A and B are shown apart, each in its own frame.
Chain A
Amino acid sequence: MKTFSSPFFWLVLVVVGGVSLLPIVTNSPSLREDLFLMLMLVTLASSVNIIMGYTGYVSFGHIVYFGLGGYAAFYLMQNFSVHVLTAALIGGVVASLIAFLIGIPVLRLRGAYFALATIGINEAFRVLVNNLPFLGGSVGMLFSFSAYEPYGGGKSAQQFAYFAMVITALLTIATSFIIKKSKFGLGLMAIREDQDAAMVLGINPARTKVITYAISAFFPALAGAFFFFKNGTILPETAFELHRSIESLVMVMLGGYGTVTGPIVGAVVYERLRGFLITNPTLSQAHLVIAGALLLLIVLFVTAGVIGWLRQRFPAVRRYLE
């Protein structure tokens, strides 16, 4: 495939993978915690970019698949002592299936109606889970002390979750790249620009969109499974947090809508910025105001995001910078 012969593809994976090894080399648990969160955000942003950036469908409540994957995996680990990897994969498949079924009717909606429907779906699952006693209802679920024993205790379970998240992030980036460079991806972008014209060119928009939506639901579900495995507890409010969903859209916009590296850059910049603002004694109070003002400036003046801007400004980099 063309993607695998692209040096940039490998460069991105090597850089992300290399950075991910830093906490192991330096043996720093706090750096590992930071990077775990960052890789999770990269996964969320990149996967929402697959449906939103390539196809133009703004999935506002995409975090629903993070929550569904997390819940499915947690339930299996808690009640049937399933290994976290198996549980995460099942969670991913469950999320993709649900996305597939939901996508068939919902992806017929366009624009604001689609965005509103995805918010509704996320909220519907949140309040539904709140009412399901076998998933712990509103108090959620909590691991027992022995839950981490098969992984060699809590400490190595944390380590394990970290590596799982690294792999998830790399897989997401690779998938995003492969889709963008494939004929399938071209079809998506044709749909984004003009769905009716795409149809005339022989693309089946309904099928293409649903498949893409299901793919973009798989990776957040994996991330959710590993995140809540590491947390040891899951709640409806943390699993289906609309604010986190919107934050991942912000990251995509920050880095560059429809590019592969954009969501990565966006997630890292956003998280660093937030960390800086929250820990800074004079700015911590105002961190939300500053982040909001910054977002507004980007939306109003640099609509293409960091990577998009670079591509516009320096046409020469377009061949390399995806």
Chain B
Amino acid sequence: MNFEILIASSLDGLTLGFVFGLMAMGLTLIFGVMKVINLGHGPIIVMGMFTPLVLSQAFGINPYFGLPVVIVLGLVTGIVMYFVAVHRVINAPELTTLLATFAVNMILIGTLTILFTTTPQALSLEMGSLQTGTITILGTRVVAVLVAVVATVALYLFLYRTRSGKSIRAVANNRAAAELMGINSTWILALSFGIGTMLAMLSGALLATLFGFTVLSGSGYEVKSFIIVVLGGLGNPTGALLGGIIIGLLESLVAVIPLPVIGSIPFSWVPVIEFVVFILILLFRPTGLLGART
């Protein structure tokens, strides 16, 4: 067994895992606060991929300097989306919000297809790489992890240290009680939706620096987000980060870990494992790996 390949793959998986975690945090935050599964999550990730592309193609802005634009755009998109599609049906049964966000999904994919067609795209980035022995770490990966970590820390500081953040947690905990304490729950729900959308778009922009993409890439990432979110417990952002890292490691390690008898598991079986784990967790530990949220 080649130890260096193992290290390199683990590092790969870990870096990917942080970005996946960020992506799933957007979904889980929205669910945690308002019990809505956002089926528009995929196209929103795609919007995050196309924003730096457009900025760099039209204005020659380096994709990383486009990130603040992604953040602002994500926040605004999420708040608008909340008021247009979710607010009216926030107390309706989950089917209604699922279909409302799915309608947004159709509208977004349709619009993006008209604007960009479905041809494959890629950001052109020259970041160099770090090298030690046979282990190579691409510069884009390093930056992606740094951004993901900073965003996660910022989210925690926001949720635990600011008044708005505390209000979000209060509303998530008990909306009626929060309203009695004078919190404007409509605004807080909209803000949470905005932040969730912002995180999804930011992760999309980071994914675009790592992989090629098309307008239709979103659905794959959306389903992956579901798996991650369930692994970590629906509504639990820390769990999402953990789930993201587990999935990232799984995807990069499964094919290189040698096993007795069968040699190693072919990469095409990775999604099978993921979905089976997903269903088992839903059935036997619906609160996720970390247990009930405190």
A123 to B230: give the CA distance in the assembly, Å. Answer: 15
Query: A112-146: which have CB < 8 Å to B?
Result: 112-113, 115-117, 119-121, 123-124, 127-128, 130-131, 138
Contact B276 A287 (CB under 8 A): no
Q: Which residues of A contact B266 (CB under 8 A)?
A: 131
Question: Contact check: which of B111, B227, B283 meets A289 at CB < 8 Å?
Answer: B111
Segment at the interface with B among A75-83, A205-213, A295-303:
A295-303
Does B4 have its Cβ within 8 Å of any Cβ on chain A?
A: no
Flag A222-260 by CB within 8 Å of B: 1 or 0 each.
000000000000000000001100100110010001000
Q: Which residues of B contact A243 (CB under 8 A)?
A: 219
Segment at the interface with B among A1-9, A91-99, A103-111, A264-272:
A103-111
* CB-CB under 8 A for A285 and B268, given A120-B279, A291-B106: no
Contact B92 A121 (CB under 8 A): no
Please classify the interface of chain B as helix (H, G, I), strand (E, B), loop, or mixed, using the class held by over half of its residues: helix
Contact A117 B99 (CB under 8 A): no
Contact B94 A112 (CB under 8 A): yes
A108 to B196: give the CA distance in the assembly, Å. Answer: 29
A270 to B278: give the CA distance in the assembly, Å. Answer: 32
Contact A117 B276 (CB under 8 A): no
Closest approach, in angstroms, between the C-beta of A312 and any C-beta of chain B?
16
A111 to B234: give the CA distance in the assembly, Å. Answer: 13
Please classify the interface of chain A as helix (H, G, I), strand (E, B), loop, or mixed, using the class held by over half of its residues: helix
Does B88 have its Cβ within 8 Å of any Cβ on chain A?
A: yes
Query: B80-116: which have CB < 8 Å to A?
Result: 84-85, 88-89, 92-96, 98-100, 102-111, 113-114
Does B189 have its Cβ within 8 Å of any Cβ on chain A?
A: no
* CB-CB under 8 A for A124 and B276, given A58-B94, A116-B226, A300-B88: yes
* CB-CB under 8 A for A58 and B98, given A124-B275, A285-B114: yes
Query: Which residues of B come within 8 Å of A, CB atoms?
Result: 31, 35, 37, 39, 84-85, 88-89, 92-96, 98-100, 102-111, 113-114, 219, 223, 226-227, 230, 234, 266, 268-269, 271-272, 275-276, 278-279, 282-283, 286
10 cross-chain pairs, A with B, having the tightest CB-CB distances, nearest first: A288-B110, A292-B106, A124-B275, A289-B110, A296-B103, A292-B107, A127-B271, A295-B103, A120-B278, A299-B100
